[in-house]
Chains A and B, each alone.
Chain A
Amino acid sequence: MVETAIDKESYVPVEADFRLKGKTADDFVDTNFASQNFWKEVVARFWRKKSAVIGLVFVIIISFFAFVGPVMNEYTYSGQNLDQKNLAPRIPIIEYTGFFDGHENIKTTSGTKTVNYYFEKHLPDTFYWFGSDNFGRDIWTRTWSGAQVSLIIAVAAAIIDMIIGMSYGLVSGYFGGKVDMVLQRILEIANGIPRLVIVTLLLLLFKPGMITIIIALMLTEWVGMSRIARAEMLKLKEQEFVLASRTLGAGNMHIIFSEVLPNIIGPIITQVMFSIPTAIFTEAFLSFVGLGIPVPRCSLGSLISEGFNSFTTHPYQIIPPIIVMALLMLSFNLVADGLREALDPKLKEM
């Protein structure tokens, strides 16, 4: 038998034994199993979904222009100049490429002819980036200030919705029993009324304006939110942390809003994101029917409705608001979809 063990007495420690061994090679952390902050994980999952990121980029770009766009040129959203009405889009520098140089094809009885009103009216230094409408208002400014109005209305409605629907659902789910029964029957009836009918009638009754539209939108969307909040509450209210909190003497309201609410914030945020495009759509619909924002203010819907009157003769007037609105709704939907998957990875696709 060969003695291989180090003889304890004769071993003299060297300095290297006391130095920290470089363990970077062993330092591999398995990210799959490592405990991470929940929100960090959500963000990571969100970034992995390309469509959601694209949606977010568009939301940011449109929001940026909605607030900066209207002040980027000298025109205002209500400033009229009847001498310069129905001018086609013209953008400096880009005009030399042949696009956006202010020309327009006019369909006449004898065929199509191309005209450039900027030259016919001797306006060499006038530029309407998206053209001007039939009152000579700048469509660029109007599109972005319309987007601004639509965004403000949608976001405000969605947030107020969230507060009301969430509280309703949480209270209903938490107390259960008779309270829940009564609240749920009310909800069933509220849900049975077509949203559109309520919104339309409300706006007939009150003077149209931003606040009225927000209230009308708020009244229609809280039902979905309260359902989600109630379902989540039913899942959580039997859990130990609620019991613990109650044992320690916490009141009902404290348990509902400080203990349970932070745990269900994910689905709620997703629902808010989904209700924003719905609100944009409903607002646009109302404007289209003539119940929207009163003139001279404009929203995307009222711009589309105005552009519709001349959309065969001057199609450039309706294209900017339509594209902005379609993109806005699409991107909010993409972001909401991505968020839903990021918050709940178990969820099946689509």
Chain B
Amino acid sequence: MKKYILKRVITAIFTLLAITLILFILMQLMPGSPFNDEKLNESQKAALYAKYGLDKPIVVQFFRYVTNMFKGDLGVSYKISKNTPITQLIASRLPISIGVGFAAVFIGAIVGLLLGLLAAFKRDTAWDTLATVISVIGVSVPSYVFALALSYQFGFKLDWFPMLFSAKDVIRSSVLPSISLSMFTMASIARFTRAEMIEVLGSDYMLLAESKGLSGNKLVFSHALRNALIPIITVLAPLVVDLMTGSLVVEKIFSIPGVGSLLVNAIQSNDYNVVIALSFIYSAMYIGIMLVVDILYGVIDPRIRVAKEAD
């Protein structure tokens, strides 16, 4: 087990390093220098370069860059708000994004689980068809279509929820964005739960449990559902990716002051430094979650662990 975790962690670190290298190269390739202010003369520029270490050899710069990144110093923004450290820009936005994302996962997981269970227990009935239709639509229609539709219907037409995010009314104004983000999560969890439940319900150990005289809730929850839930962890990774992608556009639609809309703004105003810093954060989060999912999966299912160790 230790060997397995160690291997996963090392891979993750290498991946993160590779990404940092790519980001660094991209930063070098980006047109323009950070100090292309016409008011600066050559000696002032040289002084600034020396101050930020840009006159050092590229290898030294890379090491500085890597250590800074891992220390949490992400540089400063050049365009969006001049000379503000990016960490400061992010600090106020991250909680909002995480809040909405968490709400989306929560809603998606609960509703998806219920939908999947309903479909599995009422297999081949109208309920099953309904659940299937909902999950197919949820998987294949992008989250911002839902966001626009919900925002138009419930925000504009019916005026039940605010169309735009407001800091004063966080709960009510997070409802629509969370629901639109949760659709994909919900649909994939529903699909998976249904498939797994049907397999588990037909298994021999369920027959055994039933023949021992178990019935009702105990049978369903402690025997069937527990085993069906295991593979659902695998859905987590793609789900997080979708949340990240979706959040960019959904945050823009509802003008949520989160990390996603910061990235969109940075892209649109060519603030490369912010784009690259946020890319690093997204990559780190992504790799971190993949790592956790991989390890969790190894812990829960020994077959995976053994197979990967032998690999």
Give residues in A with beta carbon < 8 Å to B. 51, 185, 188-189, 192-198, 200-201, 204-205, 277, 281, 284-285, 288-291, 304, 308, 311-312, 315, 318, 322, 325-326, 329-330, 332-334, 337, 348-350
Asked if A193 and B241 sit within 8 Å, CB to CB, the answer is: no
Cα–Cα distance between A193 and B145 once the two chains are bound (Å): 26
- The one of B30, B191, B268, B282 in contact with A194, judged by C-beta atoms closer than 8 angstroms, is B282
Cα–Cα distance between A350 and B188 once the two chains are bound (Å): 10
For chain B residues 127-163, which have a beta carbon within 8 Å of chain A? 132, 135-137, 139-142, 144-145, 148-149, 152, 156, 163
Asked if B148 and A308 sit within 8 Å, CB to CB, the answer is: yes
Asked if A201 and B249 sit within 8 Å, CB to CB, the answer is: no
Which B residues are CB-close (under 8 A) to A333?
136, 139-140
Cα–Cα distance between A285 and B250 once the two chains are bound (Å): 11
Asked if A311 and B15 sit within 8 Å, CB to CB, the answer is: no
Known contacts A289-B267, A290-B268, then 11 further A-B pairs from the complex at CB < 8 Å, ordered by chain A residue = A189-B14, A193-B19, A197-B283, A201-B22, A204-B30, A204-B270, A205-B29, A288-B252, A315-B152, A322-B148, A333-B139
Cα–Cα distance between A332 and B137 once the two chains are bound (Å): 12
State the interface size on chain B (CB cutoff 8 A): 53
Asked if B148 and A195 sit within 8 Å, CB to CB, the answer is: no
Asked if B132 and A189 sit within 8 Å, CB to CB, the answer is: no
Q: How far is the CB of B280 from chain A (nearest CB, A)?
A: 9
Report if B286 contacts A (CB, 8 A).
yes
Which A residues are CB-close (under 8 A) to B245?
196, 285
In the complex, identify which listed stretch (B43-51, B209-217, B271-279) lies at the interface while the others stay far away. B271-279
User: Quick one: CB contact mask for B227-252 with A, threshold 8 Å, 1 for yes?
Assistant: 00000000000000100110011001
Asked if A201 and B14 sit within 8 Å, CB to CB, the answer is: no
Looking across the interface, which residue of chain B has its beta carbon closest to that of A328? B140
Q: How far is the CB of B119 from chain A (nearest CB, A)?
A: 9
Report if B219 contacts A (CB, 8 A).
no
Looking across the interface, which residue of chain A has its beta carbon closest to that of B270? A204
- The one of B16, B145, B163 in contact with A325, judged by C-beta atoms closer than 8 angstroms, is B145
Cα–Cα distance between A325 and B148 once the two chains are bound (Å): 13
Asked if B267 and A285 sit within 8 Å, CB to CB, the answer is: no
Cα–Cα distance between A304 and B152 once the two chains are bound (Å): 14
Looking across the interface, which residue of chain A has its beta carbon closest to that of B142? A281
Asked if A285 and B283 sit within 8 Å, CB to CB, the answer is: no
Asked if B137 and A285 sit within 8 Å, CB to CB, the answer is: no
- The one of A195, A204, A350 in contact with B132, judged by C-beta atoms closer than 8 angstroms, is A350
- The one of A197, A330, A348 in contact with B140, judged by C-beta atoms closer than 8 angstroms, is A330
Known: A196-B244, A200-B267, A291-B267. A329 touches B195 (CB 8 A): no
Asked if A194 and B29 sit within 8 Å, CB to CB, the answer is: no
Known: A204-B267, A284-B142, A349-B195. A192 touches B282 (CB 8 A): no
Report if B305 contacts A (CB, 8 A).
no
Which A residues are CB-close (under 8 A) to B136?
51, 330, 333-334, 337
Which B residues are CB-close (under 8 A) to A318?
148
Report if B179 contacts A (CB, 8 A).
no
Which B residues are CB-close (under 8 A) to A315?
152
Cα–Cα distance between A334 and B272 once the two chains are bound (Å): 39
Known: A204-B30, A289-B267, A308-B253. A194 touches B22 (CB 8 A): no
Known: A194-B286, A196-B282, A318-B148. A188 touches B15 (CB 8 A): yes
Cα–Cα distance between A281 and B139 once the two chains are bound (Å): 12
Report if B104 contacts A (CB, 8 A).
no
Looking across the interface, which residue of chain A has its beta carbon closest to that of B280? A197
